[in-house]
A and B are shown apart, each in its own frame.
Chain A
Amino acid sequence: MSGDSRLLGFWYVLPYLIGLLVFTAIPFLGSLYLSFTDYRLMQGMDFVGLQNYTDILTSDRTFARSFKVTMLFVALTVPLKLAFALFIASILNAKLKGIGFFRTAYYVPSILGGSIAVAVLWRYMFADVGMVNMVLTGLGFKAINWFGNPGTALFTITLLRLWQFGSAMVIFLAALQSIDKSLYEAAAIDGAKPWRAFFAVTLPLLTPVIFFNLIMQMVQAFQEFNGPYVITSGGPLKSTYLLPLYIYEMAFKKFDMGYASAIAWVLFTVIMALTLIAFWSSKYWVYYAGDKRS
């Protein structure tokens, strides 16, 4: 290649570079700077050092509550969603007639689930006079005030996320179908029962996909907004007031941009720390085919 064509490629990726700087890199550093200031939109900006962070971590009870709820939501949603997606994917992974039909049926909620219309549907399904309570009373149970109790309110927004297990399932299914069948035959000859083969053959080979799904689902769960905003409005008693809601209200309702940025950075640090732990720990539990380890 000549000297000219060495720069040629650069021209093609230039739009990305500009976008990266203007819409990602500079805002990224900007929000870090903002987090050390007291800045309200249309008013002056004062540098306050670590003040926002000390406030958040020591005296802000809303933050403490919101942080706890967010961790609980993520800790519930991510493992349950992955386990359920894997469970259904392994059931689908057989010579079934109509596999395409089931795969599509399970994927549809993931296609629609992000829509505000589904959050609206959820709100009505779990309302006092909603469909779920009618089913419960029809079966002889007592109706539940879903949005009136902290526990059940968080349950409804967790359920909305679990309902969208389809995208994780499709990825699991593709990985399951790519596993060499001869491995199972070898396991069967060695006398392994099916469940033993699942833990000794299937699960280790799936770890790269489990790892991928784990990271993606976690980063998403920490940013959950639509569900709690539309279904429960963060209530009752802030029991579904996830951090993205708190950041949104601080930044775009109270226009307290400095403080909101500091909360965003605390959230970002938590996400990064957990992601790094996952990457670090992956060398102990993620198995890549062709690896020397067994």
Chain B
Amino acid sequence: MSDSIIHSDDKAIEEAERYLAAQKRRENISLAIRYTILTIVGLIMLYPLIWLVGASFMTNEEIFGGVGFMPTNPVMDGYAEGWQTSTPYTFGRFFWNTFLIIAPKTICTVISCTVVAYGFARFDFPGKKILFAAVIGTLLLPNVVTRIPQYMLFNELGWLDSYLPLWVPSAFAGDAFFVFLLLQFLRSIPRDMEEAARVDGATSFQALIYVVVPMLVPAMISVGLFQFMWTMDDFLGPLIYISSVEKFPVSLALKLSIDTAESFEWNRILAMSVLTLLPSLLVFFMSQKYFVEGISAGGVKG
């Protein structure tokens, strides 16, 4: 009797172990499949970028010679010659122009959006609901319908072929997305410290500068980084507003180089493409955590 109980217990344990082993095996197989798919997809996705970097150190003959990404004899010709461009200016000039667009635009965006988000998050005022609905509405509004009259406005103001059309809207919190993102962060910051500061006699503006901003810095950095990358990538804006080559940012300069005789010199253009991507890539890797926070707070286009 007792023998058979022990016996069946053994059997049960054995069965349970077999079951667990099978489950473990299934999990391992599932993991192996997952890793295989992820690795293959990852390689296919990143290969164009790896090839781009490799090819930029090749001679043109080698680029047309095979699909490998390792240059057999790395040369800097592409960089040296591409940097000179077929225009009277070097690529350095175009990078400087890009900086002249990005720096004011990013600073204006961070300041104006912070101030506006603070107004929405901490105050009640007549018409707030309607204005906030406008923030959400413009998130979805396609730029394509406003672009033509904007161009006519900037034309009237005599701002064509200057960077003003690219900067000025951002000084008025023109990117609703950033207002929205900062607002999400502000909602999660408790008001106690601001209220304490107000009780001690600080104005609301002092509370903003000395209490809110220090806590909001990570979010403000996210905003700055996104604006940096989007402005770096912006092509249509400069294409419409900037017409003299001396004022071109890198995006226009790169397009110019594929339209001119240089287009046969693949290594020059690939080398300059690498340089164009480098700032965004560096910024992304140096500040990944801000991006992750920004994405999870607002959901992001791209």
Contact = CB atoms under 8 A, between A and B. Distances in A.
A118 interface: yes
B124 A9 contact: yes
B72 interface: no
Contact of B276 (A11, A116, A215): A116
A47 interface: no
A19 B141 contact: no
Contact of B146 (A27, A105, A124, A244): A27
Contact of B131 (A17, A108, A215, A216): A17
28 contacts: A6-B125, A9-B122, A9-B123, A9-B124, A12-B119, A13-B131, A15-B115, A15-B116, A15-B173, A22-B153, A23-B146, A23-B150, A27-B147, A41-B152, A91-B37, A102-B38, A105-B42, A115-B280, A116-B254, A117-B276, A120-B269, A120-B270, A131-B48, A131-B67, A167-B302, A170-B292, A171-B299, A215-B140
B154 to A, nearest CB: 10
Contacts of A23: 146, 150, 169, 172, 174
B126 A167 contact: no
Interface of A: 1, 5-13, 15-20, 22-24, 26-28, 30-31, 34, 41, 88, 91-92, 94, 96, 102, 104-106, 108-118, 120-125, 129, 131, 134-135, 138, 163-164, 166-167, 170-171, 174, 212, 215-216, 219-220, 222-223, 225-226, 229-230, 244, 247-248, 251-252, 257, 260-261, 264-265, 267-268, 271, 275
B42 A12 contact: no
Interface residues of B, number: 86
Contacts of A216: 299, 301
A260 B149 CA distance: 11
Given A13-B120, A124-B266, A129-B64, A167 B145 contact: no
For the residues of A in contact with B, the DSSP-based class is: helix
A246 to B, nearest CB: 11
Contacts of A114: 230, 233, 302
A56 B230 CA distance: 33
A127 to B, nearest CB: 9
A279 to B, nearest CB: 10
B216 interface: no
A247 B266 CA distance: 31
Interface of B: 30-31, 34-35, 37-38, 41-42, 45-46, 48-49, 51-52, 64, 66-67, 112, 115-116, 118-120, 122-128, 131, 134-135, 138, 140-153, 155, 169, 171-174, 179, 204, 229-230, 232-233, 235-236, 240, 251, 254-255, 258, 266, 269-270, 272-274, 276-277, 280-281, 284, 288, 292, 295-296, 299-302
Contacts of B155: 41
Contacts of A111: 229, 280-281, 284, 302
A230 B257 CA distance: 12
A275 B140 contact: yes
Nearest to A233: B259
Contact of B144 (A6, A18, A268): A268
Contact of A163 (B34, B45, B266, B270): B45
A110 B302 contact: yes
Contact of A113 (B112, B145, B302): B302
Contacts of A275: 140
B119 A268 contact: no
A258 B122 CA distance: 43
A265 B142 CA distance: 10
Contact of A116 (B144, B174, B255, B292): B255
Nearest to A94: B34
A136 to B, nearest CB: 10
Contacts of B171: 15, 19
Given A120-B254, A222-B142, A251-B148, A12 B116 contact: yes
A8 B116 contact: no
B149 A16 contact: no
Contacts of A11: 119
Nearest to B168: A23
A244 B144 CA distance: 7
Nearest to A7: B125
A134 B272 CA distance: 23
Contact of B258 (A96, A108, A174, A230): A230
Nearest to B67: A134
A115 B172 contact: no
A171 B42 contact: no
Given A13-B119, A19-B173, A225-B236, 4 more contacts: A6-B125, A19-B172, A124-B266, A264-B145
Nearest to A28: B146
Given A92-B38, A115-B277, A167-B300, A252 B67 contact: no
A15 B172 contact: yes
Contact of A31 (B30, B46, B149): B149
A12 B148 contact: no
B146 A16 contact: no
A265 B281 contact: no
Contacts of A248: 236, 240
A69 to B, nearest CB: 16
Residue from A12, A26, A102 whose CB has the most chain B CB atoms within 10 Å:
A12
